[in-house]
Amino acid sequence: MMLCCRLKLQHIRPTLLVSRIYQPTSLRDVGQESRQGEMTCKSQRLMQQAGLIHPSNPGCYYYLPATVRSMEKLVRVIDQEMHGIGGQKLDMPSLCSADLWKTSERWDLMGKELLRLKDRHGVDYCLGPTHEEAVTTLVAHQAHLSYKQLPLLLYQITRKFRDEPKPRFGLLRGREFYMKDMYSFDVSEEAAYQTYESVCQAYTRLFARLGLRCVQVQADTGNIGGKLSHEFQLPADIGEDRLLVCGDCSFSANVETMSSDRTDCPQCKTGTLVESRGIEVGHTFYLGKKYSQVFNATFSNAQNKPSVAEMGCYGLGVTRILAAAIEVMSTEEGIRWPGLLAPYQVCVLPPKKGSKMDEVAVLADNLVHTLGEALPGLRGEVVLDDRTQMTIGKRLKDASRLGYPYVIVVGQGALEETPRFEVICQQTGETMFLGQDGLLDLLGRVETV
């Protein structure tokens, strides 16, 4: 009986069929302005056309299934990097009490950007745009926090709410978006700087793993407060930030932090500063005691005396990273993903129905299963474009717009004595003809998360 069930389960492992994936593609051009009158950009246009996102109200989007797959992958990569530096994941309420925000004085400082609401008792709340207050009060409530437990790095990946004056560019600037926010608690300023440095290194590793060129620039500390701050910027023409980058050394800064007509590098003195635009995908702040003092977040030090913790906070725009990656990697016609984040890695194309190659269709189906069996890393990553009423050419065009890293055309060559498949690597634009072994070898090297 047991054996029978198991066999049955294996038998019904479903093939992922393109016709069944909820990805409502719309070929209609989105144009310069969206329906809501917001500015659009390449990534927004491509994402809407590819059925990745759908607009609801200004600055708010449906994240459709392929986007959720991609985001879940991004979250896994972020989790790996945060765990790597000792981060612990938690989840804080989005509904934040006004009292906390009044304590830090940000209830007034934040102005209209804070989305405010009242509960049935008339008590004021806001929808969390960031969580310094919430996390600091949490840590302050811990009665016996010892210096031996520090550094403490707490982070979450949750929806944030900001009533942006100009939501635009799709997921790049929303009013509701996902952010990874981490908060650190340290025994001393020196230790806090070390933690700050290790978070910056983790961010650099993260962007390298995604294959994104990212520059770390000196930044303004804004209304978050604190003494030291860096932004992680992806150079892109539509970026809203202006950066000054030295041609000779590693110096780079947000224009906000210095006079914008300065052209000589303050670090190496010899290099020339060149202005470029960037999309801010991450931001780190050394906060000192700004919040820990107000909320009384203390630990007991080596002398068993209460001491106020030194803090840092570190944001990553999760949904913004997705859109920004698409913005900088894609062509005007088609999405190109960081390999790790593609919703599906492989798309298999059987021939058009009735094209005297119906037996080939069976081979395509077999190939999908073979790949799944032989390459555990690709389980759930291979889709079969079963829309065989369409020509191969039309489906190839769709595959190019959606940006599967690997497209395999199963055609005449599959019927040869040693079957051969046409493989298109969309990241590089290369086309190859490979036998099954070559294919397994190539796809076996695909990194998934």
Using CB under 5 A, list all residues that contact Mg ion.
283
Choice between 219 and 363, CB closer to Mg ion? 219
**Binding pattern for the stretch 319-348 against ligand ATP, x by CB under 6 A and - elsewhere:** xx----------------------------
Say whether residue 282 binds ligand ATP (CB under 6 A): yes
Among the listed ranges 99-107, 118-126, 262-270, 313-321, the one in contact with ligand ATP (CB under 6 A) is: 313-321
Q: Label residue 118 exposed, middle or buried (CB < 10 Å: 0-12, 13-18, 19+).
A: exposed
Picked from Mg ion, ligand ATP, none, the partner binding residue 282 (CB below 5 to 8 A depending on kind) is ligand ATP
How many Cα neighbours within 13 Å face the side chain of 318? Answer: 25
Say whether residue 317 binds ligand ATP (CB under 6 A): yes
Listed in sequence order, the residues at least 6 apart from 149 whose beta carbon sits closer than 8 Å to its beta carbon are 299
Say whether residue 422 binds ligand ATP (CB under 6 A): no
**Binding pattern for the stretch 108-137 against ligand ATP, x by CB under 6 A and - elsewhere:** ----------------------x-------
> Which residue has 């803090």 as its token pair?
311
User: 181 vs 92, 285, 361, CA distance in Å?
Assistant: 11, 11, 48
Query: Phi/psi at 41 (nearest 5 deg)?
Result: -150, 180
Instruction: Please identify which residue in 51, 151, 170, 174 interacts with ligand ATP, judged by CB under 6 A.
Output: 174
Among the listed ranges 23-31, 101-109, 277-285, 353-361, the one in contact with ligand ATP (CB under 6 A) is: 277-285
In whole angstroms, give the CA distance from residue 221 to residue 37: 32
The secondary element (H helix, E strand) that includes residue 433 is strand 430-435
Instruction: Please identify which residue in 283, 336, 352, 420 interacts with ligand ATP, judged by CB under 6 A.
Output: 283
Choice between 152 and 281, CB closer to Mg ion? 281
Query: Phi/psi at 366 (nearest 5 deg)?
Result: -60, -40
Among the listed ranges 72-80, 136-144, 174-182, 406-414, the one in contact with ligand ATP (CB under 6 A) is: 174-182
List the strands of the sheet with 16-17, edge to edge.
16-17, 382-384, 346-349, 406-409, 420-425, 430-435
Query: Phi/psi at 98 (nearest 5 deg)?
Result: -60, -30
Instruction: Please identify which residue in 66, 139, 179, 294 interacts with ligand ATP, judged by CB under 6 A.
Output: 179
In whole angstroms, give the CA distance from residue 114 to residue 447: 40
Choice between 106 and 283, CB closer to Mg ion? 283
Binding site for ligand ATP (CB under 6 A): 130, 162, 164, 173-174, 177, 179, 280-283, 315, 317, 319-320
